[in-house]
Amino acid sequence: MRSPFAYVPGSGPLQSASPGAAVFYLGALVAVAFLYSSPAVLAAAGVGVALAGHSAGADRAVRAALRMGLTLALLIVAVNALVVNRGETVLLRLGELPLLGRVDVTAEALAAGAVIGLRAAAAMVGFAVYSACVDPDRVLRALRPLAGRSALTAALISRLVPVAAADAARLRDASRLRGPAAAPLGRAALVRRLTAGSLDRAVDVAATLELRGYSLTRPDAARGGVLLAPPGLDRVRGFFKSRYDARFYAVGAIVLLTAIAGKVIGADGFHAYPTVEPGFEPATVVVAIVVVLAGLVPWRRGTPRRSSA
């Protein structure tokens, strides 16, 4: 079974755009979630990246990331409510707890935890859309003139993480099919098996790369030769290859400029302590609308939808 985060080739604008344009566009949407603490803007950032993934046909990746992101958000809210006693609105007094001391659950701590959870969920959805829609091989080719080793590392990670997720799914399915008489298999055993398999695969990949000559010095560098084409020209060619690039660069710039301008004029008026201040100013609403509308940019009429298999 293919991991929902695995890259699947497509003909949509986001898949056809150059890696630089796609990364800049998705990065701008995720950056808004880190620039703001307003729940409205954070929710808009999550909706924006989810719409971008849906428009690009990455529905499975969006759904899987939303499930994991919302689960993580709930965990963050619970932990923040237990470890932070700030705030004036006490909802529940749990008394003295081991290691935690006196615990008073406040509405302000819940609100602050929800903000952190929304930010994490939006970031997870953004990275899921990137993993499902941006070709790691094209990323490697685009970044090779800048940093060859880092580009190779990033490409391997983007390929091997979905493979590890698929291995985990297969191991869980195999553990369920062992029959009712078999002893239950705990998560620790699954983690050990997954780690061992990942290490074995890493050794195989390293050996393959060595056989392909990645450990050798480039011939032109060894001879002190010079490249025929200027490095800057290669960088430009790596980031401007598609007719969709201008669209994504322009929208990403609009999102970032709108977010920065909103911060300057006070659009992020949310405060959790000492009391919750929602901060729904008109500028906040404008920023949220721009971010949501930006998620529709990858949509194209007649774009073939991906298979859910």
Residues 134, 161 within the same domain: no
Give the count of beta carbons closer than 10 Å to the beta carbon of residue 32.
29
Per-residue pLDDT averaged across 291-302, rounded?
84
Output the CA torsion sign for 122, 125, 130, 131.
Answer: positive
Contacts of 164 (CB under 8 A, 6+ apart): 194, 198
Domain assignment present for 7: no
pLDDT > 90 in the chain, percent:
31
Helix axes 245-264 and 19-35, enclosed angle (nearest 10):
20
Domain assignment present for 9: no
Distance CA 88, CA 286 (A): 31
Residues 80, 18 within the same domain: yes
Contacts of 233 (CB under 8 A, 6+ apart): none
Residues 50, 136 within the same domain: yes
Residues 275, 161 within the same domain: no
pLDDT > 70 in the chain, percent:
79
Per-residue pLDDT averaged across 100-123, rounded?
89
Mean pLDDT of the chain, nearest integer: 80
pLDDT value for 228: 40
Q: What is the count of structural domains for the chain?
A: 2
pLDDT value for 146: 61
Domain boundary residue, one of 214, 235, 263: 214
Domain assignment present for 233: no
Distance CA 124, CA 65 (A): 6
**pLDDT tens profile 216-225:** 655 554 444 4
What radius of gyration do the chain's Cα atoms show?
A: 23
Residues 151, 97 within the same domain: no
pLDDT tops 50 at residue 234: no
Distance CA 162, CA 4 (A): 8
Closest by CA position to 119, among listed 59, 24, 30: 30
Domain extent, residue 260, equals: 14-143+244-303
Domain assignment present for 222: no
Outline where DSSP puts E strands in 54-163: 90-97, 101-106
pLDDT class of 7 with cuts at 50, 70, 90: confident
Residues 152, 262 within the same domain: no
Domain assignment present for 204: yes
**pLDDT tens profile 43-75:** 999 999 999 999 888 899 999 999 999 999 999
Residues 252, 118 within the same domain: yes
Task: Identify the three-state secondary structure at position 236.
Answer: helix
Residues 209, 178 within the same domain: yes
Residues 203, 139 within the same domain: no
Domain assignment present for 6: no
End-to-end alpha-carbon separation of the chain, Å?
8
Residues 66, 52 within the same domain: yes
Residues 267, 139 within the same domain: yes
Domain assignment present for 84: yes
State residue 272 phi and psi, 5-degree precision.
-90, -30
Greatest mean pLDDT range, 55-64, 137-146, 186-195:
55-64
Domain assignment present for 74: yes
Query: Is residue 202 within a helix (H) or strand (E), and if so which, with residue range?
Result: helix 187-211
Cα–Cα separations (whole angstroms), residue 195 to 171, 184, 191, 267: 12, 19, 6, 45
Task: Identify the three-state secondary structure at position 108.
Answer: helix
Q: Are 65 and 132 in contact (CB under 8 A)?
A: no
Residues 27, 130 within the same domain: yes
